[in-house]
Amino acid sequence: MDEPHDKRLTEFALIQLLPNIMTIGAICAGLSAIRFGVQGNYVLAVQLILAAAILDGLDGRLARALGSDSKMGAELDSLADFLNFGVAAPLVIYFWALQDMSNAGWISVLVFSVCCVVRLARFNVATKSEEDVAEVANGYFVGIPSPAGALLAMLPMFVSFAFDTGTGFPKLLICFHMVVIGLLMISRIPTWSPKAVRISRENVKYFLVACAFAGAAVLTYAWSTLVVLCLSYVVLVVWGLIRKPSE
CATH code: domain of residue 50: 1.20.120.1760
In-domain check, residue 5: no
112, 220 Cβ separation under 8 angstroms:
no
- In whole angstroms, give the CA distance from residue 233 to residue 226: 10
In-domain check, residue 74: yes
In-domain check, residue 205: yes
Please tell me the predicted confidence (pLDDT) of residue 133: 46
Please tell me the predicted confidence (pLDDT) of residue 17: 76
Residues in CB range of 216: below 8 A, 6 or more apart: none
- The domain total for the chain is 1
Domain coverage including residue 208:
11-194+201-243
In-domain check, residue 4: no
In-domain check, residue 26: yes
Nearest to 83 by CA among 175, 155, 147: 147
In-domain check, residue 235: yes
In-domain check, residue 45: yes
Among positive and negative, which fits the CA dihedral 33, 34, 36, 42?
A: positive
Nearest 5°: phi and psi at 70? -150, 165
Q: Which residue has the higher pLDDT, 110 or 16?
A: 110
In-domain check, residue 238: yes
Please tell me the predicted confidence (pLDDT) of residue 247: 45
176, 99 Cβ separation under 8 angstroms:
no
Q: Which residue has the higher pLDDT, 15 or 176?
A: 176
Q: Compute the average pLDDT of residues 174-203.
A: 84
